[in-house]
Amino acid sequence: MVPIDDTALAVTDTGGPGRPVVYLNGSYADQSHWRRVIADLGPGYRHITYDERARGTSRRATDYSFEACLRDLDAVLTARSVHRPILVGWSYGAMIAVHWAARNQGRAAGAVSVDGALPHEWLDDAARAQIRRLFRRLSPLFPLARPLGLAARMSAEQHAEINIESNELCAPAALGPVLDRVDVPTRYVLATGGNLGGDPELMEQIRSNLDPVLARNPHIRISAKVASNHSKILRKDFRAVADAVRELAPGSDHRAG
């Protein structure tokens, strides 16, 4: 366990001399979602996964903000003596990856965004109220969802506020400058269609909002757009995610030649 603030984080580190790859989970997910990507990449890399506060087997905390999650990443990198990692984030984790890379220029070797860190601006007061209602309705299912890595040990209100804050951070005026500051090779793996709570047409429009960013910042490219949706991408298209890592670290894979 890695201590940070008033909590402690469950960390798994395969060790070894390979290029370190740090995996950043979705909003309420745990580190188990990365097992297929890690298996596909193999032992040529040093794989580091961890559970955010109140997710997986990490302890609860009093602060579940996005800034707290950035501090958690710093704590894990320091505790495990990780230098120049490739940051691989899914959904919420993609936001952590690009924010950390933008704030710590030169400290990452690259970043992979898995259907996350996409500029959009659809959130208004009605949408905030809808999100809060949705999580209140879903709260009876949290005990069943937690063992699957789909819910945290938090209240419905805390789940909702994390979702609202992350959407606010995706507003073009907020996220655009962050993506413009990214100065390391960054690859996006995009899903297709909708997901739970996300209309397919809206999700595709959000993904297309990345186009102006690609035109402005040559460090950022799309590695692949895959058939699976947002929630299933790590399960069904893990090879595309692994291939994006290989683009950033050619020769690290034991199968590379």
pLDDT tens across 178-204, in order?
999 999 999 999 999 877 666 888 889
pLDDT of the residue at 94: 98
Distance CA 130, CA 35 (A): 33
pLDDT of the residue at 257: 31
pLDDT of the residue at 255: 46
Contact between residue 242 and residue 40 where contact means Cβ atoms under 8 Å apart: yes
Over residues 223-232, the mean pLDDT reads: 95
What is the set of domains in the chain, with CATH numbers? 2-119+174-248 (3.40.50.1820)
If you average pLDDT over every residue of the chain, what do you get? 93
Bridge partners of residue 19, in order along the sequence: 45
* Nearest Cα to Cα of residue 219 among 109, 119, 117: 109
Burial 163-180 (b: 16+ CB within 10 A, else e): bbbbbeebeeeebbebbe
pLDDT of the residue at 196: 65
- Name the pTM for this structure: 0.94
Contact between residue 160 and residue 132 where contact means Cβ atoms under 8 Å apart: yes
Would the pLDDT of 115 be above 80? yes
Would the pLDDT of 256 be above 80? no
Bridge partners of residue 103, in order along the sequence: none
